[in-house]
Structure 1
Amino acid sequence: MSLSSLFVFLEKFGYHNSMEMEQYLKDINRTLPDITHLHSIGQSVEGRELWVLILGQHPREHRTGIPEFKYVGNMHGNEAVGRVLLLQLIDYLTSRYLSDPLVTRLLNSSRVHILPSMNPDGFESSARECMYTKGRYNKNGVDLNRNFPDAFESTTDQKREKEVRAVMDWLQTESFVLSANLHGGAVVASYPYDNSNRGSELQGGLSISPDDDVFVHLAKTYSYSHSEMHSGNSCYDSQDFSHGITNGYHWYPLPGGMQDYNYVWAQCLELTLEISCCKYPPEAQLPGLWAANKPALLAYMQQVHLGVKGVVMDSYGKPVQNAVVEVAGRRNVCPFRTDRNGEYYRLLLPGNYTIKVTYPGHKTLTHTIRVPYGPDAFSALTHNVLLQHSDYSSTATQLPQSCTTPDLGIQESDSATLLPPSVFTALTLFLLQRLLMLS
């Protein structure tokens, strides 16, 4: 299939079934192998592949300093607009690479992963209805956005669905920095936390994360780049949302959600984007929905370059995994750590920050840095860290078990009971203080 015929295929703005979508993704990957890579992260209950298309200058492998970004659509099978828009986004990015400066810089400076349908079984069983739930759940009748491990509740006895386990495994293979999950039924950008155990995170009816300022900025970036979302009252039967954004818990408590899981355990800041009043609108409305969301989808992708990034190296200059990288004043439930390449990414708004890096056998380093606005330059501030060996013996910073190995729900005994954030924080601070005393 030629490139031109691929683009004509999507110009119809229709709902494509799983076989048509799979064929399109395979054709675009075959036609543009230099900037795309197609792979399946697993299968649905009925055996449909969960296809992810990766786009970028080096789509087959991670490169140091190039952040990983992802969009996920169709988690609820009957919320079909996200699936359509992500296919349109693939078309837009691939057809304009090297000719459109914005698209070219986006794909050259980041590695973009797109999962158009997380729930293909639900989509295939959906009815073309605006607000009903037929097709929302997976084949086992489970709401996938209530099936992830939850930081605020013990869910060790809950079975993880195949689609959820596939995403959890996926998050262990890529160090995602920023993400969004596309839904329908409202027009608003929702940000963590989605849940609360009524601890210190609960403030004025909102469940506030340590990176709340960044999340609010990300949500407003999408809402104000959208043609209508920022007005806050796009749907006649929906509540008004100031600036077109909402704290997830303030809207309604949601246990087992994917965006909290991404943030707490995968170090990936994720929003839930509600992008259409109607979950499965008539096809005639799809071009308008694409036009309203296209600039917001692009602007949000560019936010992957907020903050600071770098490599942490030991005293021999070798990159190290699992060094703890903390930002003063941000006590994350699970401390951010370097990945297998020794890299760290922290999304931060412009300003001055104190960064503390701890690693076994090395002195704790504390640096104060000034962070500029990275998205304009398509790069976060690069701040590499060279650690110094310590003469004193020290043990590794032991993180809570549920931070290092989240519950996959395959067997009830696979994971320890999850602890509330206040306990996580206390444990982490205690262990870091012990490390400081020994170093």
Structure 2
Amino acid sequence: MDFARLWLGLLLPLVAALDFSYHHQEEMETFLKNVAQNYSSVTHLHCVGKSVKGRNLWVLVVGRSPREHRIGIPEFKYVANMHGDETVGRELLLHLIDYLVTNDGKDFEITRLINSTRIHIMPSMNPDGFEAVKKPDCFNTNGRENNNFYDLNRNFPDGFEFNNESRQPETVAVMEWLKTETFVLSANLHGGALVASYPFDNGVSATGKVHSRSVTPDDDVFQYLANSYASKNVNMKKGDHCKNKMNFRNGIVNGYEWYPLKGGMQDYNYIWAQCFEITLELSCCKYPREEKLPLFWDSNKASLIEYIKQVHLGIKGQVFDQKGNPLPNVIVEVQDRKHVCPYKTNKFGEYYLLLLPGSYTLNVTVPGQEPYLTKVIIPKKSQDFSALKKDIVFPLRGHLDSSLLSNPSCPMIPLYSILPNHSAATKPSLFLFLVTLFHILFK
């Protein structure tokens, strides 16, 4: 009998093939629960909060250690459908889940990705908005906001000006979720245009606002990240696929340059959660007809996989004391690109810095100690599915008061407006300068 069941299991797929249609909450939950049950060794399904109407905000984790973080394995996330009427991303993430679990052990690239990465996928941040759409339409639908009529992508704390919007349960759930993991890279899936947009979405003079853009200290990395997605999407990289929209060179744009917004999720991720996030606009039409969904999957599958790989850019490691104990909450940043909210090691003493190939000086700072500087060279040919690994033994001088390594949270205030001369944020990257010069000379 057991032998017969084994053969039957080999002959039948573990989960019925996911169809190309719009999956409402109950259907989505059924699919996610089936995946979690049938692929339990590489998946973990959990709820990070509830919507205004009490719907679960589901996250499915895919990885070799899906239930807990492993040292050296970076955390990646995709979030979709925060605007309830922007629906393509929701379905793409369900198909991405299906593609990952069904190709594990069969496709070399996917298997290595799952071996080396912990991938968190939230198909819908705004299930109430999705369910509120009664007459799907490309541009004029209800359901964008949550059930309290708040735009969730205007609802986060802002680094540049006070955002007094009442914090919504979906927003709070994501903010609390970000505290539970050391997320390194993320993307937020939207619709209504076709472009990869990167931070900042808001700005001050110090970040380039006077030049109609707002750049981060990691502008070179963000442009690379946006290009890594757009370059694999034939229509996105054209830059003008949505004829009634702005022409985006190579399919990417600085968020502020496109249009400024206050309280966006990507800026919040970068400033307060140490997570590089971009916004992916995936369809000219916000809520296209179901028969178009296979085309969107074909256009975005390679991009979705390629972008996950970028979590392995740069450098990673742990910071230890001279006795080999990991040091949490130690600031580890590149000397000339400090963040307004310093990037720190996690409870395991780990740090992850997304950087392009080149030579850098790391500044490691422990309160009450002299900063420790160390040079690193990230080779042009990066290691497959792994950032350059560099552990650091911090040369402590005298006794270290462990209370200094507590983790006071960065204040939820407009940090850039109170630090207008924050030098690392004021310098547009050489990469940006060269790109601009190229455009001037050859346009």
Please give the TM-score of this superposition, normalised by the length of structure 2.
0.89
Q: Does 1:60 align with 2:56?
A: no
Question: Which stretch shows the higher mean deviation, 125-134 or 248-257?
Answer: 125-134
In the alignment, the residues of structure 2 paired with residue 20 and residue 301 of structure 1 have an alpha-carbon distance, to the nearest angstrom, of 26
Q: Return structure 1 stretches of 4+ with deviation > 4 angstroms.
A: 373-376, 392-401, 424-429
> What's 1:123 paired with?
130
Q: Deviations over 1:186-226 (max 9, x none)?
A: 00000000001333443621101000000000001101011
Structure 2 counterpart of 1:153: 161
C-alpha contact 1:184 1:274 (8 A) present in aligned 2: yes
2:13 corresponding residue in structure 1: 4
Matched residue, 1:70: 77
**Residues 1:420 and 2:429 are matched in the alignment:** no
SS in structure 2 of the partner of residue 37 of structure 1? strand
Mapped partners of 1:265, 1:399: distance in 2: 17
Q: Which runs of 5+ in 1 are unaligned?
A: 408-416, 430-439
Give yes or no for the alignment of 1:171 onto 2:178: yes
C-alpha distance 140-160 of structure 1, shift in aligned 2 (>3 A): same
Aligned partner letter, 2:256: Y
Q: SS at the partner of 1:250?
A: helix
Q: Which residue of 2 aligns with 1:102?
A: 109
**Does the residue aligned with 2:231 lie in a helix, a strand or coil?**
helix
Aligned residue identity for 2:13: S
Change (3 A) 1:203 1:384: farther
Distance of 1:267 and 1:374 partners within structure 2: 25
Contact 2:232-2:302 within 8 A present in 1 as well: yes
The AA in structure 2 aligned to 1:147 is: N
Q: 1:243 aligns with which of 250, 260, 265?
A: 250
1:376 CA displacement: 5.3
Matches within 5 A, 1:271-286: 271-286=278-293
| From 382, 387, 392, the counterpart of 1:380 | 387
CA distance in 1, matches of 2:337, 2:43: 36
Instruction: Describe the SS at the equivalent of 1:6.
Output: coil
Please give the per-residue CA displacement for 1:22-46, whole angstroms capped at 9, x wherever unaligned: 1110111000100000000000000
Indicate conservation of the 8 Å contact 2:230/2:250, yes or no. Answer: yes
Q: CA offsets per residue over residues 300-342 of structure 1, 9 Å max, x none?
A: 0000000000001122211111100120210211111101111
1:251-303, Cα deviation, whole Å (9 max, x unpaired): 00010000000000001000000001111000111000100000000000000
Query: Conserved in 1, the CA contact under 8 Å of 2:217 and 2:424?
Result: no
| 2:221 pairs with one of 200, 214, 223 | 214
User: Secondary structure at 1:170's aligned position in 2?
Assistant: helix
Q: What corresponds to 2:91 in structure 1?
A: 84
Q: Is residue 198 from structure 1 mapped to residue 186 from structure 2 by the alignment?
A: no
Offset from partner CA, 1:110-153 (integer Å, 9 cap, x none): 00000000000000001311111410000000000000000001
Measure how far apart 1:236 and its partner are.
1.7
Structure 2 Cα separation of the partners of residues 103 and 398 of structure 1: 38
Find the counterpart in structure 1 of residue 42 from structure 2.
35
Is the 1:309–1:382 Cα contact (8 Å) retained in structure 2?
A: yes
Structure 2: gaps spanning 5 or more residues = 1-7, 426-443
Partner of 2:142: 134
Identity, in percent, stands at 50
Provide TM-score, normalisation by structure 1: 0.90
